[in-house]
A and B are shown apart, each in its own frame.
Chain A
Amino acid sequence: EIQMTQSPSSLSASLGDSVTITCQASQDIGNYLNWYQQKSGKAPNLLITEASNLGTGVPSRFSGSGSGTDFTFTIIGIQPEDIGTYYCQQFDKLPLTFGGGTKVEIK
């Protein structure tokens, strides 16, 4: 089973700041990585597919990069509606696995 390690586990940012989350896979997964945002009490929402492809209707302040084992997710100019928990998910091998999550708060 591929382990996905996310960091940090939580962060607090001021409105308009840029924030970066990293995700490391326990083995090479190519670009088979997705990113989701989850708000409290709701299902996750797809933001990024295949490491860097923005999902349908997702604002351009969100971006992703990386390949192999190391990946980065960035929000440029964080907005109040961006609070929530962010997860990476690999789909190279079954079982599909998620990172531990990064809780994002606004100062």
Chain B
Amino acid sequence: QVQLVQSGAEVKKPGASVKISCRASVETFTRYYIHWVRQAPGQTPEWMGAISPSGGSGTYAQRFQGRITVTRDTSTSTVYMDLSSLRSADTAVYYCARGPSAHTYFDHWGPGTLVSVS
């Protein structure tokens, strides 16, 4: 059974950082890329980055370079997305989603984590 379980909502001040978790089933964690996609209120989804099932460093959208870090914990099958220097424009629902590669479709999504910055 595919499961992507995300951490709960966060409220942050501008300039702070947020770290969101996404716990996957073992099969998903070991065989699929985990991507991060965010969606601001009333806006289109925006791809932020991804990490491969073999680990290593993440692949990030240029616009988030320097502010985003995606990591994995193999002991808990959990992927983390850390976003720093938060501003009000970062207020959004953040989704983790799985895909078979970096260039891909997303066939399963987490329920989303609301991050409010104010």
Contact = CB atoms under 8 A, between A and B. Distances in A.
B45 A98 contact: yes
A91 B46 contact: no
Interface residues of A, number: 24
B109 A44 contact: yes
A89 B105 CA distance: 8
A77 B21 CA distance: 40
B107 A55 contact: yes
Contacts, number: 51
Contact of A46 (B45, B107, B110): B107
Interface in A22-74: 32, 34, 36, 43-46, 49, 55-56
A94 B44 contact: no
Nearest to A93: B103
Interface residues of B, number: 21
30 contacts: A1-B62, A34-B106, A36-B106, A43-B97, A43-B110, A43-B111, A43-B112, A44-B45, A44-B106, A46-B106, A46-B107, A49-B105, A56-B107, A87-B44, A89-B45, A89-B105, A91-B103, A91-B104, A91-B105, A92-B103, A94-B59, A94-B61, A94-B102, A96-B47, A96-B103, A96-B104, A98-B45, A98-B47, A100-B44, A101-B44
Q: Please list the 5 inter-chain residue pairs (A to B) with the smallest Cβ-Cβ separation, ordered nearest first.
A: A43-B109, A95-B61, A96-B47, A34-B105, A91-B103
Interface of B: 35, 44-47, 59, 61-63, 95, 97, 102-107, 109-112
Given A1-B62, A89-B106, A96-B47, 10 more contacts: A34-B106, A36-B106, A43-B95, A43-B111, A49-B105, A92-B103, A93-B103, A94-B103, A95-B62, A98-B45
